[in-house]
Every structure is written in structure tokens, then in C-alpha cells.
Chain A
Amino acid sequence: TQLLEQSPQFLSIQEGENLTVYCNSSSVFSSLQWYRQEPGEGPVLLVTVVTGGEVKKLKRLTFQFGDARKDSSLHITAAQPGDTGLYLCAAINAGGTSYGKLTFGQGTILTVHP
């Protein structure tokens, strides 16, 4: 079982600040996903990264996959109150009968104050 360590667990910042959330493992990921969850709702996929060194951008969010595919980061530029939520990374087993089964990190609770 892959163990995913996500940090920080809590992040409280002011509107306009930048932030980075990290997701690390001692194992190599087949691929990795980032989800965002708002109160009272289920997680929603933000992005999937597959290739080592890959960088994907989603408006003010930048996702990076480490070259060795053991770590990933989510960077938010100029955070807004609407970015508030729980951010979860999840590693994917992309082979064999376990395809699609994800292991989740502990999550980062982000609060952006106006």
C-alpha cells in the first residue's frame, strides 16, 4: 500500500497570498490526482498528472509532478476566499486488477480570509 504524506494539514492565509501544498511518498506513483472538497459535498477532481516533471495549470492553480514521480505539489497564486476547502492528493495504481483504486493523502484544509 502506498503511503501519501500531505503537508501542511492546515493553512490559513489572507486573500492575495500565495501558497503551496505538498504530497510525498517513498514509493513511485503511477499517476497522481488532486481533488478539492467543499463542505457538504464530495471531492471533485482538479487534475491528473502522469509524467515525471509534468506541470499543469488550471487558472491560478499550478500542479507539478516530481521528476521521480514520488512527489507532487499544488501552488495557488493570489488566493481568493473561493479557494477555501479541503485539498486531497491521491495516488493511482494504473496497472492490473487494481486499476482505478486510489490511495488518498490526509488532506490540507485551506482557509482564505478576505
Chain B
Amino acid sequence: DADVTQTPRNRITKTGKRIMLECSQTKGHDRMYWYRQDPGLGLRLIYYSFDVKDINKGEISDGYSVSRQAQAKFSLSLESAIPNQTALYFCATSDRRVRRSGTGELFFGEGSRLTVL
């Protein structure tokens, strides 16, 4: 089983609908992230959370919200989906225990492909 699990893997919805993407992890990491991937733009950070009670905006948070329900769960919501939110969404985790070398490795889920018509 994957250490970072995203649901759903694929979703097609209509403009104006509310959508929730869920992420759960078994790695025991404190830090969780939501990224969006578009062709030619790499990965862009939407929101991140360093602890259960911690929520931080990334570089493209407008139109999105998140909830950190537990250490292992981090969900992303689109309150009113629009077509330019069509993208591949990735959840990721990292370990807050940092060595001096600071590897900060991210562990990604398999992605959730969202299409907004």
C-alpha cells in the first residue's frame, strides 16, 4: 500500500461545484502539502501544514481551502470549481526532524487529476 494516498484519483466536475480532494499518510510525518501541477509550470504550492493546528498559504491559494483533520489527514477543497482549476493535484509529506544537511525530502502521493468543465 502507498504511504501517501490520495482520493479520488480522477474526478470530472462542473463549474460551480464544490470538490474535496483527500490525502492520508502512514509515514508519521508532521508536515503535509498540497501542490498543483500544470504542463510547463512544474509544481506550485497551494497550502501547507507543519502540524495539526497549523495552516499556511502557498503561492497559489486563492480559490482553495484546506483542513488538517489529524496528523495523517490533509484535505483540499475547491468551494466553487472553475475551469482553470483543471490540473493534476499532489499531496506530499515531509519529516520535520531535520539533519544539518537538511534533506527535506518530499514524499508524494500518486496524484488526483481534476477536470472542471
For the complex, count residues of B whose C-beta is within 8 A of A: 29
Stretch at the interface among B14-22, B68-76, B108-116: B108-116
Taking a contact as CB atoms under 8 Å apart, the answer to whether B108 and A44 are in contact is yes
State the B residues within 8 Å of A (CB): 4, 31, 33, 35, 40-45, 48, 50, 58-59, 90, 92, 94, 96, 98, 101-106, 108-111
Interface positions of A (Cβ within 8 A of B) = 1, 4, 6, 9, 30-31, 33, 35, 40-45, 48, 50, 88, 90, 92, 94, 97, 99-107
Known: A100-B104, A106-B41. A40 touches B110 (CB 8 A): yes
Shortest CB distance B75–A (Å): 17
Contact B42–A107 (Cβ < 8 Å): yes
Which of A6, A40, A100, A106 contacts B94, CB < 8 Å? A100
Contact: A92 with B44, CB < 8 Å?
Answer: no
A41 nearest CB neighbor, chain B only? B110
- Whole-angstrom CA separation of A25 from B114 in the bound complex: 31
Instruction: Take A41-B110, A45-B106 as given contacts and tell me if A99 and B42 are in contact as well, using a CB distance cutoff of 8 Å.
Output: no
| A106 lies within 8 A of B40 (CB) | yes
For B108, list chain A residues within 8 Å (CB): 41-44
Q: Which of B31, B41, B42, B111 contacts A42 (CB 8 A)?
A: B111
The reply to whether B106 and A31 contact each other, CB–CB distance below 8 Å, is no
